[in-house]
Structure 1
Amino acid sequence: MSDRSNGTPGNSGAVATADDRPDDLAHADPGLPPHRPRLSDTQPRAAKRNERQVSLLFVVSIVGTLLFFFGYFFIRLDNTVATLRLQNLLLGLGTAFAMFGIGIGIVHWAKTLMPDHEWVEERHEIRPESDRRDAERIVTGILSESGIGRRPLIRNTLIGAGALAVLPAIAIFRDLGPLPGNALRRTMWDRGVRLSRDPDGTPIRAADVTIGSVFHVIPEGLNEAEDKLEQKAKAVVLLMRLEPADLNPSPGRENWAYEGIVAYSKICTHVGCPVALYEQRTHHLLCPCHQSTFDVTQECKVIFGPAAHPLPQLPIMVDDQGYLVAQSDFLDPVGPSFWERG
């Protein structure tokens, strides 16, 4: 009787199991592809060439950082467009080369010189008393695989590139200057400072402000200030005249206006855009950036849009010559409300 009649498969259709295989085949790794060695794995000259290429990329990073510093410290701005463009070009190219060189260098190092074959390590229980030794062995293995210990050219250029790469950020932070302290809360407005037209600085008489008119206002003397732009960014004001009966001052602010003339900061409390649109019929001020809307009859309360706070009001009065003057500085912080209001 044949093997087939007994239920035993014949040679033509037999499938070997792991138990039927020889020991070397039964324990072969079935999941990992065969490793194909690279030129740098078999040829020392190729490995040396790749090492020089990685080091060259790190040197490119160093040169980029030095280029950034040259543009930052040695290109003196003289208020010309050409000089500004040159500095921006050097800063941009320097930053790009610094980041490109160190990034591509590390990638090229990993691709050509670090071990690229895969292996499987069986999971094993880590005993508490051996944790430190295991960690040391892992770190030692990583350093050995990277080849940083036996490749001083790569190691030294990487250290130089890494040390210099962070310096441009430190240099840029230097330009932020000292902490502002109370500088953001203070403007040029003070008791007795006249309200003057922007930009010519002509003082404004109360009689010049008619119902429905709007004046863009700066403190008198601002045009002569050394930090004119910085001071104007905080102190610029919108001046309007309404019927006194239309105003609804809160307790303590009854004398902040003069015969219906009110003054409010022009800087939106959302992100600092100029509030420059006044709708006479509704007495609304509109910020064109994000459509925040303020009601002048309600002390510039926000009635629409993302602004979170009313526009700060400048208390005003009239001096002996009939000119509008400030009673004090703003009592609320000017500008966006995110920095602020403690």
Structure 2
Amino acid sequence: MNDDKLPVKAEEGHGAVEVAEPIADPGIEPHEYRITDIDPKAADRVERQVAAMFGLAGLLALGSCVAYFAIPRYAELAFGPLTGNANNLVLGLCLGLALFLIGAGAIQWAKKLMVDEEISEERHDAHSTTAQKAEITEAFNQGVEESGFTRRKLIRRSLLGAMGLLGLPAIVLLRDLGPLPGRKLYSTIWAQGIRVVNDVTLRPIKPSDLVVGQLVNAAPANLAPLQEESGVEYQNAKAKAAVIVVRIKPSEIRTPAGRENWGIDGILCYSKICTHVGCPISLYEQTTHHVLCPCHQSTFDLADGAKVVFGPAARPLPQLPLAVDSEGYLIAQSDFTEPVGPSFFERG
């Protein structure tokens, strides 16, 4: 018996096990031509089918836009005991079918028209040499050519048209994000004569209530009535109008030009909303007069116009000009002179 044909034994544990011979590489099976490979009419027929799917997908995408505006927002459809929103149902069907037809057309294109010959290549290291990169580029260009994308104009144009039209519903549906803010981002409910109150007790604040080094979270006195009228309006107004009031030694304050009369005996008031992404801030360090945003560590110097000294915030905290009314309470001279909140809300 030829020793080369004997099973190979390998040690495993306390004994030996037989290791079977590796299976010989069977190679690639002979290529079978499809009807579209040998019959140009069949290929053209499939091309028209694929283009029809892409074209219909584009029409369905347009149909979803039309349905969005044509069907009443609260119209309902009944299917026996089941009911559903007609607008949502038609939108879903149109977009779902459009995506399905694009996928089905791509599959039909790949299975019937693209070159389907199998190839094999040896595995190699992850790092590619210059020659291998050139080979990959050549193979990619060959794949583009064999896909027929450049040659079959009907498929190419219908696919690009369908994909372009599919973007329209996404633009139309942006309307559902809510009404446009208009000028609401530029103003708050602060106004001339509005008292500054503690945001917890809602008690008006006098200068004598604050000591040097103290920071108080505050709100406008006209915020409370909104809570009874509308919860949504109240929350929106509260989010924009929240402020921090701090008292610093006047000798340590560097007042920006034009704000000489915005403070009262070292008492300054700034928006509580970080100008980076809108997080509420109040982490105050008395010795440096810095206030820190807990979200992304933007740091503002309250003794120097709340300018940014660290972090991603792009502009200082807006300052609210203060005055004192006839009864000795802190009041606002006006609304903020610039938009509060994240910097992308600012429009100059």
User: Alpha-carbon deviation of 1:162?
Assistant: 8.0
User: Alpha-carbon deviation of 1:257?
Assistant: 1.0
Aligned-pair identity (%): 36
Structure 2 CA distance for partners of 1:303 and 1:49, relative to 1, 3 Å: closer
* Residue in 2 that maps onto 1:109: 108
* Residue in 1 that maps onto 2:9: none
Q: SS of the counterpart of 2:343?
A: coil
Note if contact 1:237-1:263 (Cα within 8 Å) is conserved in structure 2: yes
Q: In the alignment, does 2:294 pair up with 1:288?
A: yes
User: Alpha-carbon deviation of 1:274?
Assistant: 1.7
Please show how residues 43-82 of structure 1 align to structure 2 within 5 Å.
none
Could you list the runs of 5+ residues in structure 2 that have no partner in the other structure?
Answer: 1-29, 76-84, 118-147
User: Alpha-carbon deviation of 1:56?
Assistant: 9.1
Note if contact 1:40-1:112 (Cα within 8 Å) is conserved in structure 2: no
Candidates 155, 168, 171, aligned match of 1:169: 171
How many residue pairs get matched?
A: 267
Deviations 1:15-74 (A, max 9, x none): xxxxxxxxxxxxxxxxxxx974236668999x99999999899999969x97x97xx986
Amino acid at match of 1:106: G
Structure 2 Cα separation of the partners of residues 98 and 209 of structure 1 = 65
Deviations 1:210-267 (A, max 9, x none): 3332221121222433422222232211011122222222343222111221101111
Deviations 1:147-204 (A, max 9, x none): 99xxxxxx9xx99998677325302235453362x43221111110111222553322
Candidates 309, 312, 316, aligned match of 1:306: 312
* Residue in 2 that maps onto 1:245: 251
User: Alpha-carbon deviation of 1:143?
Assistant: 4.9
Structure 2 CA distance for partners of 1:56 and 1:310, relative to 1, 3 Å: closer
User: Alpha-carbon deviation of 1:280?
Assistant: 1.8
Candidates 151, 169, 180, aligned match of 1:178: 180
User: Alpha-carbon deviation of 1:288?
Assistant: 1.3
Q: SS of the counterpart of 2:235?
A: helix
Please show how residues 9-20 of structure 1 align to structure 2 within 5 Å.
none
Q: In the alignment, does 2:206 pair up with 1:195?
A: no
* Residue in 2 that maps onto 1:275: 281
Give TM-score, length-normalised by structure 2: 0.59
Candidates 33, 37, 46, aligned match of 1:37: 33
Structure 2 CA distance for partners of 1:98 and 1:255, relative to 1, 3 Å: farther
Deviations 1:87-144 (A, max 9, x none): xx999987994675244223212113436489xxxxxxxxxxxxxxxxxxx9997356
Whose Rg is larger? 1
Structure 2 Cα separation of the partners of residues 196 and 239 of structure 1 = 10
Structure 2 CA distance for partners of 1:183 and 1:167, relative to 1, 3 Å: same
* Residue in 2 that maps onto 1:27: none
Q: In the alignment, does 2:328 pair up with 1:316?
A: no
Cα RMSD for the two superposed structures: 4.7
Q: SS of the counterpart of 2:284?
A: strand
Q: SS of the counterpart of 2:105?
A: helix
Greater strand proportion: 2
Amino acid at match of 1:278: Y
Moved more, 264-273 or 245-254: 245-254
Structure 2 CA distance for partners of 1:94 and 1:140, relative to 1, 3 Å: closer
